[in-house]
Amino acid sequence: MRTYAEFSPTQFDSTGLGLIDQQNWLVAPVSQTRDSGPLDRANFDATLRILGGESETVEVHRFGHWGPGWFEIILINPADEIRVKDAQETEDALSDYPIVDESLLSEYESEECASTWEKCFDAADRLAYFRRHSYTATSVGDLWKAIRGGDWYAAANMLHCPSDILA
């Protein structure tokens, strides 16, 4: 893990801006921005939970940014050996597999799909989506709930790859 003094959100930004008292603190291997999708948000929240939440030795900092509007990082006091070990284990695990907590990611994806289905699709759009994608309808009633009623969970149970809605 890098220290905050070595950290910059992009190659175009200066390192270690502000936070004079945390320059030697370690930056957790996750971050999130205004534009983060379910994976980044789930990894951020799961990592914060693994670290025991915010405390005297674990801090979440939000910064305004010219690109994504804002970003958040988690800083860990290097004196807290237990939290440093937990963060290092998380970083090592992420180097092999990009998901910290699969069930939390699934929950966030499901919430985002439900929101998209309800707010971005009207009944005609939902019908067109079903026509373009592979699905198995168990009943006309479920199909009606999914299309006319905007019930994402009914739709998700019929679509063969429901998370494609986020693509």
Task: Give the structural domain span for 20.
Answer: 4-100
Long-range contacts of 47-51 (CB under 8 A, 24+ apart): 47/74, 47/87, 47/90, 47/100, 48/74, 49/101, 50/86, 50/87, 50/90, 50/100, 51/76, 51/83, 51/86, 51/87
Q: Is residue 149 part of a domain?
A: yes
51-108 per-position pLDDT tens digit: 999 999 999 999 887 877 899 999 999 999 999 999 999 999 999 999 999 999 999 9
Residues 82 and 133 in one domain: no
Residues 54 and 8 in one domain: yes
pLDDT at 17: 82
Q: How many domains does the chain have?
A: 2
Q: Is the pLDDT of residue 167 over 80?
A: no
Residues 34 and 71 in one domain: yes
pLDDT at 108: 96
Contact 108, 99 (CB under 8 A): no
